Homo-oligomer: A and B are copies of this chain.
Amino acid sequence: MGEVVAVDLPEPVAGSGGADETLGRSERKHRAILEAAQEMFLAGGYLGTNMDELAARSGVSKQTVYKHFGSKEALFVELVTSMTDAAGDRVHTDIADPTEADDLPSFLEAYADRQLDIVMTPTILQLRRLVIGEVTRFPELAEALYEHGPQRAIATLAGMFERLAERGLLRVDDPTAAATEFNWLVMGEPVNRAMLLGDAAIPTAAERHAQVSAAVRVFLAAYGAR
C-alpha cells in the first residue's frame, strides 16, 4: 500500500540550535513510529495493528513506543488528529479572495477543484474509512474529523458566500445552508464512491472537474444573482 504513506506528517521540530543530538535522535524515533503507525493503522485498522510489529517496523523497542506515546490508543489518536489537521490546512491555505473574483463560476470551480483534489487522495480516504469504522470505540476522533474536515470547509464557504452576497453576486439568505448544499453537490458522489469502491473508483482530475462544473451550475441556478 505504497500510496497510503503519501501524506506528509507534520514536520518534527528541529533540535534547537542543531547541536542537541540526543533530541534529534528522539525526534527521529518519534517520527519513525508515527510513520509506521500511519502505514499499519491505515492498512490493518485499530484492532488489526500489532504493537510488537509496529515497534519492529519503526526500528525501536516496544518500550520506546510506549515511552513516546503512552498507549496504542494514544498513538492512534495522535496519528489521526495530526493527519486530519495537516489535510485541513492544505485545503484552507492560499484561498483566493472572493471579493476579487471577476468570474464567479470560475472562482467557485477553482475552490471546489482544490478541495476535491485533497479529499480524493488515497491516504485521506483511508483515514476517513478507518475513523468511520471506529466511531463506536473512538467517538472523539470522528468528531475531530467532522469539525476539521466538512465543518471547517462549510464555514469557510459560508464566509465567502456572505461576502459574495454583499457584492450582489449571490442571493443567499442562509450562507451556512447554501455552503452545506454546495459542499455536498461537489463532494457527495465522489466521496461516497471512493469510500465504498476503493481507490480504483477515484475519479480522474478531468472527471472531477466535469462534476465540479455541473455542481456550480446547479448552485448558481438557485443562488446566482442573475
Contact = CB atoms under 8 A, between A and B. Distances in A.
State how many copies of this chain the complex holds. Answer: 2
Given A139-B198, A143-B196, A45 B133 contact: yes
A121 to B, nearest CB: 16
Interface of A: 43-45, 47-48, 126, 129-136, 139, 142-143, 145-146, 150, 177, 180-181, 183-185, 187-189, 192-193, 195-198, 214-215, 217-219, 221-223
Nearest to A218: B222
A146 B197 contact: yes
Given A44-B136, A184-B192, A218-B219, 11 more contacts: A47-B47, A132-B132, A132-B133, A132-B196, A135-B195, A135-B196, A135-B198, A180-B188, A184-B187, A184-B189, A221-B221
Nearest to A221: B222
